[in-house]
Structure formats: structure tokens, C-alpha cells
Structure 1
Amino acid sequence: MLTFAEYDRLDALGLAELIRSRQLSAAEVCETAISRAQTLNVALNAIVHPLYDRARAQAAQPQTGPFAGVPLLLKDFGAQLAGVPHTLGTRARRDFLPAEDDELVRRWLGAGLSALGKTNTPEFALMGVTESELHGPARNPWDLGRTPGGSSGGSAAAVAAGIVPVAGAGDGGGSIRIPAAHCGLFGLKPSRGRVPSGPGVGEAWQGASVEHVLSRTVRDSAALLDLTAGPDVGAPLFLPAPARSYREEAERDPPRLRVGFSVAHPLGRAVHPECVRAVGEAAQLLESLGHHVEEVALPWDGPALAHTFFMLYFGETGASLAALEGVLGRPARPGDVEPTTWLLGLLGRTYSAADFAAARASWNVHARRLGRFHEAYDLLLTPTTAAPPPRIGELDPPPAQRAALEVIGRLGLGRAARRSGLVDRLAGDALEKTPYTQLANLTGVPAMSVPLHWTPDGLPVGVQFVAPLAREDRLFSLAGQLERARPWAGRRPPLARG
């Protein structure tokens, strides 16, 4: 059987090439991935719905497609696979089986990728940590006491531990980039409209949420976006195709770029010194590669954008709770979901349609301001997060606050919670450690987290680059250059080396 050491040295493209040339069989690769999953998932809790027999059956068939025989994992949110539990991390949907594949999943499977299982996510993918009551916490392979981030935390933990080379992920407020930063991976959020979201959804989270993958190498991410980019039937919008493939861009050095950077916290709070150091080192590396780099003011109003994001957050959670009636056969009740989720949905019902419409219109205000920034700078550089990965449970509400949330939810006191200031405190705390990523979601532009720094105690810290709309090509080109200058794909957490 293919040894793990041999498997571990290869990214998705490398595995695909050896399978295509018959130096490896799909069955060998599949068994190695399953063995690795069974060994490590006990500690990681990254995979919540194994599909090992399904993967074995696929590996036994003739292989076709550019990624034929390569295993991947699907996030248990967004990446719907027919006949496979699709819980969205909530006990209210633990028995739900979808009737059809999402279009993005069809494209992955059509390229020959083999679904090894579904990965852990927080309830309704709402949090920047992956600690649902249904599935329990996913754990970071760099330190099992810490979170891999969220909401694509299970996917990130599995890729970082070497179970699979790539895993599906979605990003509605940073949920690709935050786990990438916390797990030492490359994570790119595509532009709004770049990849399909159908057939069941027109625009996820009003277009703020986009799906792609987490990977160890830039070229895997680029090649998979080449395969999945483009509208599906009935898509509300689409973007022009790039001049060259994204994989080609990842192999070409970019021209001299103008990069503006900032380490200021958008909400005026503290930024961890290691995150500041990561941006400083990235700026120095960029300068050594010939790029122009200078410090700038953050090109957005942090509190205003946070307010707008939370209006989306509340409204979409309310809609998700309402949609549970179609699954449960009755309206959702507080006990069906976690207390914080119920409160978020309750708050969504306290705002008017006019409030939501005004907040949605303000997205374009932020987009125009960012567009003016990009007239002077090709890219914006910030920390991906304001702190290294938190410990499991660190961001939980204190017991007294949790008790208050349960009372507010049970009694339907959403308006009272708003008047008390509790909502403002919760919102500020929620974004304290992850305040940089929501900008790209609301404005629709592409952004990536690149793993260029590790703390003295061995925790990964990512840096974020934000590009203009539809300029994924620019991000891939720079990412490839950075990867060649300071390789990271060979770094492994202690768990994966053991």
C-alpha cells in the first residue's frame, strides 16, 4: 500500500499525475487517505460523516477527469451531496438527506475527485470557530487544545493534518480565510459570481458567501478554480473569464505591484503582536521581490461595516430558522438550535424590511470606497485575523451571559436585548479576533490568506491580500511567487508527523 510518507509529499495535482500515469492506483490512494482519516480523526473530530465505502466503490471504477482518483472532503454546509446527511451543524437537521447534488459538487466529482466524507462546521456556519453542540469541537492539528477556526474548521484541520490534499470550504464572512490562517494553509475566497451556487440557491447570503477549497499548495487552489469557475443555469450574474488559466497565473511572477498595508484593528481593539509581525515580515518579503509597499489607513469604516455585516448575520439566521419548518414539519423552537443561534434569529425578526434594505444598499458604499483605494494600490495587505488560533471554548459566552441568552430566547425578548446593549457587546466580541475578512464578502471582491508566519510556539498566522473585483489572477500570481520565495507546503503539525 502507498505509505503515508509518500502520500503526504504529494498535493492533489501530484497525486492526479501519478494516478494518470499508473504509477499509483486510485484504490491505493483511497485506502491511504481512509487509513489516515481513521488514525487522526479521533483526535481532530474533523470528519463528521465518513463516506469511506462510497469512496472505495468509486476508486474501483475506471477513472476519468483531471483529478481522477484524488480524495477530497466536503464541508457539511453548502456542498450538498445527494443522499448524504447535510446537517449544517444543527441537530434540527441531523436526519436531513438532500435529493440532489449542488452544482459545485457536480463539477468537483465530474473532475474525478472522490468524496471521502463531510466535515465539521459550526451551527449554520455562523461562527469563526467550529464548536457545534451537535458534533462537538473540531481541533487544530498544530495544537489540539485550539480551534482550527470556522466555519470551515473541519476541512482546514483535515487538510493541515494531511488526511486529504484539498477540502471544500465556504466563505460568508471569512470562513475560508480564517481557518486557512489558523491551520497554516492557503485559502482564497473568489469574487462574487465566480463559482456556481445553484441549483437550490441564487446567491448565498445575498451574494456575500462564496465556496471554493482549502489547500496546502497554491497550484491546487488555482487548478480547481479553473475547473469550477463559471455560472450555472439561472445564475444571477457572472464574471469575465481571465486571460490565462489560474494555474498558469500561479506559475508566473506578477509585475511590480503597489501594495498598501495596515495592521490597525477596524474596531479599535488590540491586535496580537504576532499578527502585526506577520504583516511586517510579509511587507519586507514583498519589497525584496521588487514590489512597492507602503503603510496606509484602512480603506473602510470598521464600525459601519460591522453594523452592516451583523444586519446580514441576523437576517440570514432568521431566514435559516424559518426554513427549518420545511425540515421539521413545524415551526422551529428554541430547543431545536443553540441559544446563540436562536437569539441571532430572534434579532433578525426585530428589524424591518426597510432596515435590511438600507443595510444592503450600504454594501455598495464600502465597495466604492474600496474601489477608490484600488485606483492607487493593486492590493491591500492586512492580518487575516487579529490573534493566533484561540483555545477551544475561549470564545464561548460566559455562563451568566449564556443564561441570559437562553432567557431572552425563550421569552422572545429580542427588542429588549437590543435596547440593553447586549447585542452591541456580542457583536463587538464576535469580531474582536476576526475583524478583517468581512470587507471582501460585502464588497464581493476576491481575497486570500497566505501562511507566511509561525509563532515561536509553533502556531500558524496568516496574512490577507485583497484584490479588485474579478482579479483572482493577480492573487494567484502573487501567491505563487510568495510560495516559491518562502515555501510552506512542507511544514507539518506535530500530529501529522507522528
Structure 2
Amino acid sequence: MSTQPGPGSLPRTIHAFTDDALGDDDAVGLVARLATREVAPIELVEAAIARAERVQPVLNGLAYADFNRARAEARGVVSSLAGTLLHGIPTLVKDNVDVAGWPTQHGTGAFTSRPAAAHGDFTEQLLGTGLVPLGKSRLSEFGFSASAEYPSGDPVRNPWSTSHSSGASSAGSAAFVAAGVVPIAHANDGGGSIRIPAAVCGLVGLKPTRGRLRADKLTRSMPVGIVHEGVVTRSVRDTAAFLAAAEREYRNLHLSPLGHVEGPVRRRLRVGLVVNSPFRTTDETTERVVREAAAMLADLGHDVREVIPPVPAYFEEDFVLYWGSLALAMTAGGKRMLDASFDTALTDNLTRGLARASRRRLHRLPLAIARLRASTRVAARFYEREHLDVVLSPVLAHTTPRLGHLSPTEDYETIIARLTDWVSFTPLQNATGEPALSLPFGQDSEGLPVGIQLAGPKGADRTLLELAYAVEEARPFRRITA
């Protein structure tokens, strides 16, 4: 753990990597060590518990812990399965999906959750890979903000700099993976919530093609299926291994099978470069990092050229309205959907502001939904017209803000303006359902990670992973221990 000064008495940076059973291995490395019985699942879980206890007072990434259950599950891993798939690897589950016997608090203090009666659909697939959950990770309230900050204080902090945001909404998962507590953790993405925390915490975060992984009932009922499940990891091979393991549990027959992607692309790809979104100008540091990535891809033999993204002028307004309609549904129906104790007055300024803004413009929602659904066809035509395999862009329009910049104690107009200024690239693929991947590539003047995004047409998950392998091979990812 670093002892450099941070906010107040906190260290500036913090991590939990040490010479224990986990070491500095990724999940695939640990699977190999389990296979040779160099370590046992219970040793990995005990090490992860010790690491979680070490960093939780600073990072605040845990929403709920059940270490005894994790110990029991680790001891119950059948020896013949240890070292296969991901059996015995410790993980965290984001606190907006149900795990049987655990509460699902959704990052809010507006109600008191009761233990879930059963696993959610995606949880069945996630834990069916053999991962052993230590507990649940924190998120911003209902996942609406791109920074996990709360009116009560105690934000989720970035291990690279504890005075900065860890991104959101999958903040706790990203902070704990980057800090070395677990090698892989659940994340989901309704506007960038896998890719944003991955970018600011120096991780790999793939939002798969819509339908690649199972969706919970509530997600399936949404008019536009913007929420996608996934994981955050420290290596491309861990993300690829998870998707291969998950596909053995469930495969969408409407998509080509992904299989186990195990190495870099060897063919020449046509890459479109996008530096600025149609709505915001990218800051100098982020532009430099993305252009460096473009130059490296060109050096690797790929055809890289700048393109104009297929984003209509009305897209941002439509997406914010739809996002707000989800807040409106939550505030209006919280007692029915969550618990009778739900109190809208206890939600934060962003949740209430989104709901109010949506209510005022509710008459425009049907058109917004229709245009968001149509974005799938618009994007598909763009890839065909431009003859592209991949689009390279920033993940975010500017570098990671300090905690407080997106505080939910600010008024709604301030928060939403700051959010849309920062989150300018990721929502498109939530609407289109296309895959998009965040990779660590550069850093800002304070040493925080800066990510790049690789996106592709529907079903191009394999292409993105293969290209990500090539990026990681050419420019190994920086680690917090370095």
C-alpha cells in the first residue's frame, strides 16, 4: 500500500498486491496454478478477503460482504473442477443484480432491501462459470451517475488517486480489481458503466453485443435494451476466458458463437478513428492518447483513417430523456418494484432531477424510443458504407475528475451538464447494442489511466478481443504496483 499523501489522512494511492496466494496473477494465471494444485480455492479466497479488508476503509468498494459463505463455497469446489473454467476464482457481484440470500440495494439509501429469494438470470450465468463471490460491490445510485458519490459521503475512491473518481456505475468492482483484491468482477453497462470505470481505473472492460450474455427480467422488459452485463479485468485474456466460460452456460442462438479467443488478430483491419464526439470537443490529453493508439495500430499494419461517427444531432437529447424515464419509473414505482419502505425523498439530486426532467417531456418519449431503436440500423449502415471493421475513439471526453465534481449534492442542472460533458462516447453502443471495449493505453499529468475505446458492428466481439490482444502485446498495460 502506498503511503503518499492523499485527501486528509488517506494515502494518495493504494493497492493490496502482496506475496500471498493471489500474488499479482490474473484469473487465467490463477486457474493454471489451481490446475497444478500449487494453490487451493480456499487459499485464494482467504487472500482476497484479507486484501478486501485492507483497502475497504479507503476505497469503500464493498456494498455487502459474506466472507463465510465465500469460504464455504471455496471449500466446496470439487477438486476435479479446480483449474477448469473459472472455478475457485474469487470475485464480486455488482449490487444491482440478485444473489440468493443477499440484499440488492442498488446503491441507494431510499429503501432497505430484503435478501433475494433466488439468483437473477444473469447471476446464474455469472456464478455458473465457477467464480466464488465475496460479496457485492458498490455503484452510484441506481447506476445513473458516472461517479459513485453519495449525499452521505464515503464515495468509492480510485486506487490510482484516492482524491479522484473511480468512474461508475460499476465503481466498486473496478476499484477492487485495479487494487488487486480480486482479478475479475461483475460490471454492467447502461451508458458506459463497464467501460467508464475500466478506463479510469486502468482495466479491460468489454460491453458485449446485446444478447451475448443473459439479461435479467427487468432489463428484458425495457423498451430499449440499453443495459448489458459483463466484467472488468486486468488482462484481455481474463475477459476472453470469462466470455468463453459464460458461453458454456448460455449461448444466444441468434449470434455466432464466440468461443475462446486466445490471441491477437493477424489480419489487416479497417479502423475508423473518431477523436471528437458530435457534441463535445475532447481534451488535449485524451486526444493525444487516442492519436497515439491510432498511430500504433497503423504501425501494426492496420488501415486507420478518420471518420465521422453515425450519431444524429438528436441522439444525446433522446438518450438523456430515455435515461430520465428510467429514473421516473424508479421513483414512481419504487414501492412496488423494490420494497414498501421506498421513499423518493431519500433519493439523490440526480435521480430526482432526471425524473422531473423526464416527466416534463414525457410527450416526446415515444419518438425518442423509436429513434434510439433505429440507431441500430443507422450504425449498421455506417460500418457497411465506410467499409470498417472497428472504430477507435476515446472512452471519455476528458480526464478523470476529482471527487466532488459529480457530487449528487450539486443541483441537477450542474450534475447533468458535467455528466454529458464527460460521457460523450459510450452511450451510442448501449442504444445500438453493438460491442465496445475499453482498454488502458495512456495516462494524464497526475498519473491516472486514460482509456481508449474499440467498437465494432453487431457480433464483432471476437474482432475486438483479438485487436485488444494485439494492443496489450504491443504496449503491455501499466500496473498500479509499477
TM-score, normalising length: structure 2: 0.89
Q: CA 1:397/1:252 → structure 2, altered by over 3 Å: closer, same or farther?
A: closer
Q: Deviations 1:57-89 (Å, cap 9, x if unpaired)?
A: 111223335211100011111x31011121001
The aligned residue for residue 125 of structure 2 is 107
4+ residue segments displaced more than 6 Å: none
| Contact residue 130 and residue 151 of structure 1 kept, 8 A | yes
- Among 313, 317, 336, the alignment partner of 2:327 is 317
5 Å-filtered alignment, 1:474-493, equals 474-488=463-477, 491-493=478-480
- Among 17, 23, 29, the alignment partner of 2:44 is 29
Q: CA 1:239/1:227 → structure 2, altered by over 3 Å: closer, same or farther?
A: farther
1:14 Cα deviation after fit: 1.4
The aligned residue for residue 375 of structure 2 is 366
The aligned residue for residue 338 of structure 1 is 348
Q: Deviations 1:266-303 (Å, cap 9, x if unpaired)?
A: 21x342211101111101110111000011223213x4
Q: Name the CA distance, whole Å, in 2 between partners of 1:453 and 1:13.
A: 24
The aligned residue for residue 318 of structure 2 is 308
State the secondary structure of the residue aligned to 1:43: helix
- Among 285, 288, 294, the alignment partner of 2:296 is 285
- Among 264, 267, 271, the alignment partner of 1:255 is 267
| Contact residue 89 and residue 134 of structure 1 kept, 8 A | no
**What is the one-letter code of the residue matched to 2:388?**
Y
- Among 53, 59, 74, the alignment partner of 1:38 is 53
1:120 corresponds to 2:134: no
Q: Name the CA distance, whole Å, in 2 between partners of 1:426 and 1:25.
A: 46
Q: CA 1:292/1:369 → structure 2, altered by over 3 Å: closer, same or farther?
A: same
**What is the one-letter code of the residue matched to 2:138?**
N
The aligned residue for residue 444 of structure 1 is 433
Q: CA 1:398/1:56 → structure 2, altered by over 3 Å: closer, same or farther?
A: closer
Q: CA 1:45/1:427 → structure 2, altered by over 3 Å: closer, same or farther?
A: closer
Q: Name the CA distance, whole Å, in 1 between partners of 2:463 and 2:281.
A: 31
Q: CA 1:108/1:364 → structure 2, altered by over 3 Å: closer, same or farther?
A: closer
Q: Name the CA distance, whole Å, in 2 between partners of 1:253 and 1:329.
A: 52
Q: Name the CA distance, whole Å, in 2 between partners of 1:224 and 1:88.
A: 24
Q: CA 1:3/1:339 → structure 2, altered by over 3 Å: closer, same or farther?
A: closer
Q: CA 1:426/1:33 → structure 2, altered by over 3 Å: closer, same or farther?
A: closer
Q: Name the CA distance, whole Å, in 1 between partners of 2:151 and 2:23.
A: 32
State the secondary structure of the residue aligned to 1:72: strand
The aligned residue for residue 190 of structure 1 is 208
The aligned residue for residue 206 of structure 1 is 224
Higher percent of residues as helix: 1
**What is the one-letter code of the residue matched to 2:175?**
A
| Contact residue 265 and residue 470 of structure 2 kept, 8 A | yes
Q: Name the CA distance, whole Å, in 1 between partners of 2:240 and 2:471.
A: 14
The aligned residue for residue 53 of structure 1 is 68
| Contact residue 193 and residue 238 of structure 1 kept, 8 A | no
| Contact residue 311 and residue 348 of structure 1 kept, 8 A | yes
5 Å-filtered alignment, 1:371-410, equals 371-375=380-384, 376-396=387-407, 402=411
The aligned residue for residue 8 of structure 2 is none
Mean Cα deviation higher: 436-445 or 426-435: 426-435
Q: Name the CA distance, whole Å, in 2 between partners of 1:156 and 1:203.
A: 27
Q: CA 1:93/1:14 → structure 2, altered by over 3 Å: closer, same or farther?
A: farther
Q: Name the CA distance, whole Å, in 2 between partners of 1:325 and 1:316.
A: 15
| Contact residue 395 and residue 425 of structure 2 kept, 8 A | yes
Q: Which runs of 5+ in 2 are unaligned?
A: 1-16
Q: CA 1:263/1:44 → structure 2, altered by over 3 Å: closer, same or farther?
A: same
1:426 Cα deviation after fit: 5.5
**What is the one-letter code of the residue matched to 1:451?**
P
The aligned residue for residue 174 of structure 1 is 192
Q: Deviations 1:323-357 (Å, cap 9, x if unpaired)?
A: 31124427x544231122122223333334x5222
Q: Which runs of 5+ in 1 are unaligned?
A: 406-421
Q: Name the CA distance, whole Å, in 2 between partners of 1:157 and 1:427.
A: 24
Mean Cα deviation higher: 462-471 or 365-374: 365-374
Q: Deviations 1:346-390 (Å, cap 9, x if unpaired)?
A: 3333334x5222111102443333223212211111111111211
Q: Deviations 1:120-149 (Å, cap 9, x if unpaired)?
A: 101000011111336731000110000110
1:185 Cα deviation after fit: 0.4
1:241 Cα deviation after fit: 2.6
- Among 64, 67, 70, the alignment partner of 2:89 is 70
State the secondary structure of the residue aligned to 1:206: coil
Q: Name the CA distance, whole Å, in 2 between partners of 1:104 and 1:9.
A: 28
Mean Cα deviation higher: 428-437 or 4-13: 4-13
State the secondary structure of the residue aligned to 1:311: helix
State the secondary structure of the residue aligned to 2:422: coil
- Among 28, 46, 49, the alignment partner of 1:13 is 28
1:213 Cα deviation after fit: 0.1
- Among 423, 442, 466, the alignment partner of 2:455 is 466
| Contact residue 195 and residue 231 of structure 1 kept, 8 A | no
Q: Name the CA distance, whole Å, in 1 between partners of 2:347 and 2:441.
A: 38
State the secondary structure of the residue aligned to 2:198: helix
Q: Name the CA distance, whole Å, in 1 between partners of 2:220 and 2:254.
A: 15
**What is the one-letter code of the residue matched to 1:463?**
I
| Contact residue 149 and residue 406 of structure 2 kept, 8 A | no
| Contact residue 21 and residue 44 of structure 2 kept, 8 A | no
Q: Name the CA distance, whole Å, in 1 between partners of 2:122 and 2:301.
A: 37
1:110 Cα deviation after fit: 2.2
State the secondary structure of the residue aligned to 1:324: helix
1:145 corresponds to 2:163: yes
Q: Name the CA distance, whole Å, in 2 between partners of 1:256 and 1:388.
A: 31
Q: Name the CA distance, whole Å, in 1 between partners of 2:239 and 2:372.
A: 28
Q: Name the CA distance, whole Å, in 2 between partners of 1:365 and 1:62.
A: 46
Q: Name the CA distance, whole Å, in 2 between partners of 1:100 and 1:279.
A: 43
State the secondary structure of the residue aligned to 1:137: coil
Mean Cα deviation higher: 190-199 or 304-313: 190-199
| Contact residue 350 and residue 415 of structure 2 kept, 8 A | no
1:7 Cα deviation after fit: 1.9
TM-score, normalising length: structure 1: 0.87
